Chain A
Amino acid sequence: QKEVEQNSGPLSVPEGAIASLNCTYSDRGSQSFFWYRQYSGKSPELIMSIYSNGDKEDGRFTAQLNKASQYVSLLIRDSQPSDSATYLCAVKKNTGNQFYFGTGTSLTVIP
């Protein structure tokens, strides 16, 4: 079983819609969760960190964490063509210093 799983997509949404990206993780002891955006040919860029159950909002982005279900999601409101990228979910366990990444979900926002 993979440590972190994401639907690879591709996910397509029209401009202005809400894009919903999902991630599940296997280790119930995980404590820190991150979403990265990666444009083609570029490096991953941190967009959200979340450490406790519930929602965390930053501009058009909302991260949601449900530890009981071992589920993390990212909502992008008012999606823009510039949001078209691959989104990586990352998880850090309570012990050790390693981060575990999903394989990413490709998002396309259609003008």
Chain B
Amino acid sequence: DAGITQSPRHKVTETGTPVTLRCHQTENHRYMYWYRQDPGHGLRLIHYSYGVKDTDKGEVSDGYSVSRSKTEDFLLTLESATSSQTSVYFCAISGTQGREGPQHFGDGTRLSIL
């Protein structure tokens, strides 16, 4: 158990509403990531963070924003959810073994936008 908690685990919401997903870690890892996973596309990076208030965009960042005000928390926000953002979202952390350490994943959030 890598000490990663994602919340909520499941959410159903309507198009146009704001949604915030939370990733919480207990192990002081420097790097945190948000991915989405869709059939046929695999894991795609949305945003990542390399420290408090330090974030960068990934491959599919349009329509998403992130914030990291504390080492342990990394928030993903969909400002105005669309049906194309229906997906499974995974948070990952790394940084325990230097720059080349592997990622460890949270249990995921299944998000449905109707």
Using A43-B90, A43-B106, A90-B103 as known contacts, say yes or no to A101 and B48 having CB atoms under 8 A apart: no
With a CB–CB cut-off of 8 A, which chain B residues contact A97? 31, 48, 50, 94, 99
Contact between B103 and A104 (Cβ–Cβ < 8 Å)? no
Segment among A44-52, A55-63, A67-75 that sits at the interface with chain B: A44-52
Distance of A73 Cα from B70 Cα, bound (Å): 38
Q: Which residue of A lies closest to B104 (CB)?
A: A46
Is there a chain B Cβ closer than 8 Å to A65's Cβ? no
0 or 1 for each of B73-114: is its CB under 8 Å from A? (1 = yes): 000000000000000001010100001101111111000000
Contact between B42 and A103 (Cβ–Cβ < 8 Å)? yes
Chain B interface main SS type: strand
Distance of A104 Cα from B41 Cα, bound (Å): 9
User: What class of interface size applies to chain B in its complex with A?
Assistant: 20 to 34
Distance of A20 Cα from B7 Cα, bound (Å): 36
Is there a chain B Cβ closer than 8 Å to A25's Cβ? no
Contact between A103 and B40 (Cβ–Cβ < 8 Å)? yes
Is there a chain A Cβ closer than 8 Å to B18's Cβ? no
Chain A contacts to B: CB under 8 angstroms: 31-32, 34, 42-46, 49, 51, 88, 90, 92, 97-99, 101-104
Q: Given contacts A34-B103, A97-B48, could you give 16 more A-B pairs where the C-beta distance is less than 8 Å?
A: A32-B102, A43-B105, A43-B106, A43-B107, A44-B43, A44-B90, A49-B102, A51-B100, A88-B43, A90-B103, A97-B31, A97-B50, A98-B48, A99-B33, A99-B92, A99-B103
